[in-house]
Amino acid sequence: MGRLTGKVAIITGAASGMGLAGIQLFAREGAKVVATDVAIEALEEQVKQIVAGGWEAIALKLDVSSPESWNAVVEETVSKFGKIDILVNNAGIHMAKGILEAELEDWDKVMSINGTGVWLGMKAVIPYMQKNGQGSIVNTSSIAAIIGGIADAQGAAYSASKGSVRSLTKHGAQWFAKDNIRVNSVHPGAVFTGMVEKAGIKSQVEMGRITKILLHCLHMLVNLWILLTPTCFWHLMNPNSLQVLSCL
């Protein structure tokens, strides 16, 4: 029996990168996985492999910036599985544009997915978790939410959006603790994914060099080992060895 046996989990941004690693891990741990992404064809191929391995998962198209899309996913999840135990808000995008380079359209696009998308997800699932009497929400923030600068690969809107995720997580954790709903954020550091590659990082070796700099900055700013509840500090992880289960 896995650690998530009997649990129903919605995971966003699941077609690649950390989201893909997440649905694979959750399925192996016994969860009924609702994998979501806008890249539905790529997602369906990955979910087919999970199902072929004997685990339970479905693929649903989700635009996290759309309330209607969220409502459709939540309704289908509850219709098929009867409940929602876990939400992992992982979907996100990055634009390598600083404060002076970014246009309002760029800013709004990043914010709508990375920030508003997290809020919409929480807003959609929390009422069902309240009915269940419990639930767990894990929001993917970033080390960029803490130190910015080199950690955001020149993405001003990215840092700002991930900072909003960090703050929203704390708000949710405090307001819904009475409903036995836990809300945590994870803060990945230098993880080599497709999004990072698009930002100009070309290898895990290059990622490693950045990691050393990030560790130095983080040590100076937060003394590295200080954990601020309800934030689950998740940094410098390989996407194939996720520690997100420690937040559930």
CA-CA distance, 12 to 24, in Å (whole number)?
A: 13
Per-residue confidence (pLDDT) for residue 145, from 0 to 100? 73
| Model confidence at 175: pLDDT above 60 | yes
CA-CA distance, 210 to 41, in Å (whole number)?
A: 33
pTM of the model: 0.81
- For residue 225, name the pLDDT band (cuts at 50, 70, 90): very low
Q: How many CA atoms lie within 13 A of 216 on its CB side?
A: 8
Contact present, 212 and 236 (Cβ < 8 Å)? no
φ, ψ of residue 149 to 5 degrees: the values are 55, -130
Q: Which residues contact 63 (CB under 8 A, 6 or more apart)?
A: 38, 69
* Element containing residue 205 per DSSP (H, E): helix 204-222
Per-residue confidence (pLDDT) for residue 240, from 0 to 100? 41
Per-residue confidence (pLDDT) for residue 63, from 0 to 100? 98
Per-residue confidence (pLDDT) for residue 152, from 0 to 100? 59
Task: Give the model confidence (pLDDT) of 65-107 as tens digits.
Answer: 999 999 999 999 999 999 999 999 999 998 989 999 999 999 9
Tokens 């950690």 label which residue? 151
Residues identified as active-site? 158
| Model confidence at 125: pLDDT above 90 | yes
Helix (H, G, I), strand (E, B) or coil at 197: helix
* Element containing residue 60 per DSSP (H, E): strand 57-61
Q: How far is CA 101 from the centre of its chain?
A: 26
Residue type, 137: I
CA-CA distance, 123 to 50, in Å (whole number)?
A: 28
